[in-house]
Amino acid sequence: MTTPIAITMGDPAGVGPEVICKALAELGPEGCRDIRVIGALTILERANELCGTGLTFGDEGIQVIDLRTEGVEDAPASTISAAAGEAAYQYILAAAGMAKSGEIGCIVTAPINKEALHAAGHKFDGHTGLLSHLAGGIKPNMLLTSPTLSTIHVSAHVSLADAIRRCTRERVVEVIRAGHDHFRRVGVEAPRIAVAGLNPHCGEGGMFGTEDDEQVVPAVADARAEGIDVVGPLSGDTVFARAHHGEFDLVVAQYHDQGHATVKLIAFDTAVNVTVGLPFDRCSVDHGTAFDIAWTGKADHTNMLAAIAYGRKLAAAD
């Protein structure tokens, strides 16, 4: 029997409801049997009408866990509000509970707005920080995956100065292991991993910094001693292109923009954000709430289809 996945509706004022409806309509009734949507039924019905997707909700259609939070139906579209932030929080809370109990095999998240989340009193840096909290403080890793390029990050939502401090031998080894284990879990028997250098040209022998020689080189040696197929550091201006052309399965990026910019350049519509290291699986669309086009019917659902497909892969994995 297929383990269901759950899609959280995200911020009701953003594009989440629209891209969910469009994706489910494209999958068709048979393709939605293993999907549960966690959100506000009235908002989904409004998006269904706006997009002309012709969905049916309930026992004879899309199964919805209908959470009615205060003020959400009156929350203005394309606008930051505490009501929308609270609703988004409650959807994630419910999904995490279902995942921990084994009711679902993966959480697929539509985008939330950090300012709205904070306005509702939930001071997290987004989905990753919130899910870490709900998992008991476990610190997960961020992985972006696409058909031709995947990256996992040594640091993500921190300043560039802090990212440099976090490039330590211990942390780099930890991230290499996490990426290796994840790819083996989803069916890559011997993942080929490259580690990007922190500094231009990996420091050029110390001229542009010593972190690559002092931290990354020994980290790669430690991981290779564990039997992991990993090389590096390799210059950040070429390693992603080499992976994109098939030389590596995964690149360890040293900081947020180093990994995100490259993946989004080549796979903006098909990249999936995966949270690695939690006691339950979560993946997400790799875009935001897009308030500039929300509730106009223009939102593209391609990324949601990719996230659903990867969520099913995770739900089926051992």
**CATH code for 141-271?**
3.40.718.10
pLDDT 10s digits, 116-161: 999 999 999 889 899 999 999 998 999 999 999 999 999 988 999 9
Question: Beta strands 150-153 and 141-145: pairing type?
Answer: antiparallel
C-alpha span between 272 and 308 (Å, rounded):
9
- Given this model, what pLDDT does residue 240 score? 97
Confidence of residue 60 (pLDDT cuts 50, 70, 90): confident
Going from N- to C-terminal start, the domains of the chain cover 1-139+278-318, 141-271
What mean pLDDT do residues 85-100 have? 96
CA 226 to chain centre: 28
Confidence of residue 2 (pLDDT cuts 50, 70, 90): confident
Q: Give the number of other Cβ atoms within 10 Å of residue 65's Cβ.
A: 17
Fold of 1-139+278-318: Isopropylmalate Dehydrogenase (3.40.718)
C-alpha span between 72 and 78 (Å, rounded):
13
- Given this model, what pLDDT does residue 318 score? 63
Domain pair 1-139+278-318 / 141-271, same fold? yes
User: Could you tell me which residues come within 8 angstroms of residue 83 by beta carbon, excluding any fewer than 6 positions away?
Assistant: 69, 70, 71, 72, 74, 75, 120
What mean pLDDT do residues 183-197 have? 96
- Given this model, what pLDDT does residue 269 score? 87
pLDDT 10s digits, 207-240: 999 999 999 999 999 999 999 999 999 999 999 9
What mean pLDDT do residues 251-265 have? 96
CA 115 to chain centre: 18
The pLDDT > 90 percentage for the chain reads 91
Instruction: Provide the 8-state DSSP code for 215.
Output: I
